[in-house]
Each structure stands twice: as structure tokens, then as C-alpha cells.
């Protein structure tokens, strides 16, 4: 499907660029200095055009491997943390040096999942980013791999970059990879594989096309990029996957060239709070609802009332995020609960008018208000 990318790119004001480990390093694990210099130059040039840029970079562990003389990627968590602790300083020093040569100031921001998934810290991070943008600074972001075990064991910077894209309300996310984009099958196994130029809907067939492991020094594959695309487009941002080794590839993207795979932003994106809810994984419990409540929530975008609740699972407090599931156990929605789990257990299946009699207080008619619900 052909699309006029200029419609999505010509007026952009803010972008996020994500550089993968395979783009940043040679096969030895050592930094590819020519590649880094080229990417930084293109980012500086985009910034000179008035585009605000945030850079999400992988490579801390890879850079640490080079500094420590390691030939293969560490396998244990402590070894990975040590390599990341050494490599992060190497990586930042390199970025600062090259950005300064182009008259740009860079700032380091190390994030963990909790910084994104905790609403208060999420909002604090937004304020920091916006202040840096206002002062002409280019934020350089990475996961805090030296401390956050989960980020090394389960995380990937594709997802992080999409979350940052949502957080800073960027117009476009550029994923620099070691492949030209998304193919209809694995090009490493099928020589007839065709590049998919445009994706307007992330369907099951698109997810099936995504596959294959990443490089020996990275943690992500194409499937993580598709997951990142889902987060970005829901937030109203477009995304493009391109080969980071291609000459002037960021400039080509910003000039609306037909390169890589372009994911079209949702025409009706989720509002900020609901977008945050949709990818928040700090689920504290589950609420099972009957068929009537399921239909009311999904089809009619109604609030969840006590009458439709069949059971609860987990221990949670008022203000926690809960998963709402149907009788088959499929997740329908996520939302912020107005009552804690013991109180919901007391009022489940009952009418709203009876809440005060059961609990001896009533703050809300709704267990989860529609404004605090996101349909999945």
C-alpha cells in the first residue's frame, strides 16, 4: 500500500530516535565510531531545523564489553550489570564529545520501568524532558541496566523508546535497526521475502510476519519493534523502522523518502492518561465481570459498577490499576479502581444504592469510572 509520508512527517516538531546495539557496535562489541558520528550529525542537523530530538540508545553493555575485553555477551545478571556500569560512562562520553563538536548540549536520563509505570514519576519525567527541550538540550536515554534487574532480564529499548515517545508526545519514532524494516517473512531464511513499506493496522498477520532473533549483542528482535509500534501509534505518533547503517538515514526519513517500514499513527489516539494505562504492567489485581458488564464496558464504554462484578483476584488498594476480565478469563480493559479489594468483595454483584449500607461509606457509584478505563 502506497502512502504519502509527507502528510505525517512534514510538520513534525519532536522526534525520538532509538539506536540499537547492533547499529552502535561492531561484531566485536566495540563501538562503531563512524556510525555514531554520522547519527549524531544527522540528529544535530534535525535539531538545527527546529525539531526537538530525544535519543534512546542501547549499547551500554556492548560498550562495557569492549572496555572490559569480553568476547561474548555476559550471561549472568551481575556480569551484565558490571558491563553496563562501565559501558554507560563510555557511551555518554562519546555522545557528549561528538554532540559538542556540533554545538549541541546533551543530557543523560537513565530510566527504569517504574519511572514510566508509576504515574507520579511518569509526570515528573515529562516535566524534566520538556524543560530540557525548552533549553535546547538533547536528552540521551537508556534503561538503568546497572541497577534494574528486570530491564536486563526482560526489557528492551524498543519498548522503552515507544514509552518515551508517548511520554514526551513526540510526532515520530525512528527505530534504527540492522535490517531495512519489516518483511512479510524472515529475510534471513527466505530470499523471496518482501519489505513491507507501510502499515496502517497492526493486525495478526503483521505480528506473524515479525520474527527472528536480534544480534548476539542486543536483546530485541522484530517482534519487540512491533510491540513498540503498538504503543507509539496508540499515542498518536507514527513510527518507522529503518537500517541504521544506511547513509544519512535519519535525514532521508525526515525528507519523507520511501525507506524502511512506516507505521501510521492512529487517527483517534488514546488520551495521555488512557495511553499510559494501556501499556502499564503494574497490575495489582483482577476483577471478573459478567457478560452484561463486559458488553457495557467494551461496546458502550460504560463505567464498571458493582452489580456486574463476579469475583476479584489479588490484594489492591484504591487508586491501583486492575485488569478487568470476562468469564473466560480474557482481559477486556484496565483501569484505576475507586475501592480496595476487600470492599469490592463486599459489594460485588450488588446495586450501587447498597454500597453505603455494605461499606458504611460511599465515595463513588463506580468501581472503575469510564474516564479511568482503557479498552484493550
Which tens digit of pLDDT belongs to each residue from 184-225? 887 777 888 889 999 988 888 888 777 643 443 344 478 889
- How far does Cα 166 stand from its chain's mean position? 7
- pLDDT confidence of residue 60: 84
- pLDDT confidence of residue 151: 41
What whole-number distance in Å separates Cα of residue 338 and Cα of residue 92?
Answer: 43
Q: Which CATH number applies to 6-274?
A: 3.40.1160.10
Cell of 129: 524532558
- pLDDT confidence of residue 193: 85
pLDDT tens series, the chain, 376 aa = 556 788 889 889 999 999 988 888 887 767 888 999 999 999 999 999 999 999 999 888 878 887 888 878 888 888 888 888 898 888 899 999 999 999 999 999 988 877 877 778 888 998 999 999 999 999 999 887 666 555 434 357 888 899 899 899 999 999 999 889 998 887 777 888 889 999 988 888 888 777 643 443 344 478 889 989 998 998 889 999 999 999 999 999 999 999 999 999 888 777 767 777 777 667 899 999 999 999 999 999 999 999 999 999 999 999 889 999 999 999 999 999 999 999 999 999 999 999 999 999 999 999 999 988 888 7
CATH architecture of 282-375: Roll (2.30)
- pLDDT confidence of residue 4: 77
- From the annotation, which residues make up the binding site for ATP? 18, 177-178, 219-225
- pLDDT confidence of residue 216: 38
What whole-number distance in Å separates Cα of residue 375 and Cα of residue 370?
Answer: 10
- pLDDT confidence of residue 30: 74
- pLDDT confidence of residue 214: 41
Q: Cell 450488588 identifies what position?
A: 350
What whole-number distance in Å separates Cα of residue 17 and Cα of residue 176?
Answer: 7
- pLDDT confidence of residue 70: 84
Instruction: Give residue limits of the domains in the chain.
Output: 6-274, 282-375
Where residue 270 falls (left for φ over 0; alpha for ψ -120 to 50; beta otherwise) is: beta
- pLDDT confidence of residue 40: 97
- pLDDT confidence of residue 139: 97
What whole-number distance in Å separates Cα of residue 147 and Cα of residue 85?
Answer: 9
- From the annotation, which residues make up the binding site for substrate? 58, 145, 157
Q: How many CA atoms lie within 13 A of 331 on its CB side?
A: 14
- pLDDT confidence of residue 21: 82
Entry pTM: 0.80
Amino acid at each position: 500500500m502506497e502512502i504519502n509520508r509527507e502528510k505525517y512527517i512534514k510538520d513534525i516538531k519532536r522526534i525520538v530516535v532509538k539506536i540499537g546495539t547492533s547499529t552502535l557496535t561492531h561484531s566485536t562489541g566495540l563501538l562503531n565510531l563512524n556510525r555514531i558520528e554520522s547519527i549524531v550529525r544527522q540528529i544535530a542537523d534535525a535539531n538545527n531545523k527546529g525539531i526537538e530530538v530525544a535519543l534512546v540508545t542501547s549499547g551500554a553493555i556492548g560498550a562495557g564489553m569492549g572496555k572490559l575485553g569480553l568476547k561474548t555477551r555476559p550471561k549472568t545478571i551481575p556480569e551484565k550489570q558490571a558491563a553496563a556500569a562501565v559501558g554507560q560512562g563510555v557511551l555518554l562520553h562519546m555522545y557528549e564529545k561528538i554532540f559538542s563538536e556540533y554545538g549541541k548540549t546533551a543530557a543523560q536520563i537513565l530510566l527504569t520501568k517504574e519511572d514510566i509505570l508509576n504515574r507520579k514519576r511518569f509526570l515528573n519525567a515529562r516535566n524534566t524532558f520538556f524543560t530540557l527541550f525548552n533549553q535546547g538540550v538533547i536528552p540521551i536515554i537508556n534503561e538503568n541496566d546497572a541497577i534494574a534487574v528486570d530491564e536486563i532480564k526482560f526489557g528492551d529499548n524498543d519498548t522503552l523508546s515507544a514509552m518515551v515517545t508517548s511520554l514526551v508526545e513526540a510526532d515520530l519514532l525512528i527505530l534504527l535497526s540492522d535490517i531495512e524494516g519489516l518483511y512479510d517473512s524472515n529475510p534471513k531464511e527466505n530470499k523471496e521475502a518482501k519489505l513491507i513499506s507501510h502499515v496502517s493496522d497492526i493486525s495478526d498477520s503483521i505480528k506473524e510476519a515479525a520474527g527472528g532473533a536480534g544480534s548476539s549483542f542486543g536483546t530485541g528482535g522484530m517482534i519487540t519493534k512491533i510491540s513498540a509500534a503498538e504503543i507509539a501509534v496508540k499515542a498518536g505518533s507514527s513510527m518507522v523502522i529503518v537500517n541504521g547503517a544506511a547513509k544519512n538515514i535519519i535525514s532521508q526519513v525526515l525528507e519523507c523518502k520511501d525507506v524502511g517500514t512506516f507505521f501510521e499513527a492512529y487517527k483517534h489516539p488514546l488520551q495521555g492518561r488512557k495511553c499510559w494505562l494501556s501499556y502499564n504492567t503494574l497490575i495489582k489485581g483482577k476483577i471478573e465481570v459478567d457478560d452484561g458488564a463486559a458488553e457495557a464496558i467494551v461496546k458502550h464504554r460504560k463505567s464498571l459498577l458493582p452489580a456486574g462484578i463476579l469475583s476479584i483476584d489479588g490484594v489492591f488498594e484504591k487508586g491501583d490499576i486492575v485488569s478487568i476480565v470476562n468469564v473466560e478469563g480474557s482481559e477486556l480493559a484496565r483501569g484505576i479502581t475507586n475501592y480496595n479489594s476487600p470492599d469490592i468483595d463486599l459489594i460485588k454483584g450488588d446495586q450501587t444504592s447498597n454500597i453505603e449500607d455494605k461499606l458504611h461509606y460511599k465515595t463513588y457509584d463506580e468501581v472503575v469510572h469510564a474516564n479511568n478505563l482503557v479498552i484493550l
